[in-house]
Amino acid sequence: MQAFLQKYEKLLEWQGECLVWTGNRGRNYGRLKIRGVKWRVHRFVYTMVNGPIPPGICVCHSCDNPPCCNPKHLFLGTNKENSQDMVRKGRVNGPKGIRNRNARFTDEQIVEIKSKYIPHVVTAEQVGLEYGMNPAYVRYLCSRRSSR
């Protein structure tokens, strides 16, 4: 592990207890190539510290931080166990409504928007213009597909 830390020192950064890979990433997981073999950094570190990873097994993060490669945060699990861990920790599809940090409209505004849109009477374009919202999003909110 010490050799890895020395070699890749410039691409690693401590953020709290996480050792974060700041180099090349794919889907937010660190990536590197060693002797022609492509690795996800957390899987490489796990292998270096603990030995081979059995086929079909995931290297999971107890910290839920994909670029973290702190060996203390890594554990093995099946796809099912990894998914169950994600659900248990509430990381499925992120928070809804105003609990989502990217939300632009309150739940009350969404209810108001839904009540104003009446197809062929008050158009999605009119409602969208009033709220600064794309008309397609107005139609989506008022459809049965939307959970808001």
Q: What is the DSSP string of 38-73?
A: EEEHHHHHHHHHH-PPPTT-EEEETT--TTB--GGG
- Report the alpha-carbon distance of residue 37 to residue 111 in Å, rounded: 53
Over residues 57-74, the pLDDT tens digits come to 999 999 989 999 999 999
Identify whether residues 69 and 102 lie together within a single domain.
no
Residue 99 has pLDDT above 80, yes or no: no
Average pLDDT value for residue range 118-125 = 88
Identify whether residues 103 and 83 lie together within a single domain.
no
Whether residue 130 lies inside any domain: the answer is: yes
Over residues 132-145, the pLDDT tens digits come to 889 898 888 888 66
- Report the alpha-carbon distance of residue 26 to residue 40 in Å, rounded: 9
Whether residue 148 lies inside any domain: the answer is: no
Identify whether residues 111 and 82 lie together within a single domain.
no
Report pTM.
0.61
pLDDT at residue 93 in the model? 67
Domain containing residue 79: CATH number: 3.90.75
Q: How many domains does the chain have?
A: 2
A 10 A CB-CB count for 134 gives: 12
- Report the alpha-carbon distance of residue 25 to residue 61 in Å, rounded: 16
Over residues 84-97, the pLDDT tens digits come to 988 888 777 666 66
For residues 48-81, b (16+ Cβ closer than 10 Å) or e, as one string?
eeeeeeeeeebbbbebebbbbbbeebbbeeeeee
- Report the alpha-carbon distance of residue 4 to residue 32 in Å, rounded: 12
Candidate from 17-21, 76-80, 118-122 with smallest mean pLDDT:
118-122
A 10 A CB-CB count for 89 gives: 10
A 10 A CB-CB count for 86 gives: 13
pLDDT at residue 144 in the model? 66
Domain extent, residue 127, equals: 97-142
Residue 14 has pLDDT above 70, yes or no: yes
Distance separating the N- and C-terminal Cα atoms of the chain: 47
Residue 2 has pLDDT above 90, yes or no: no
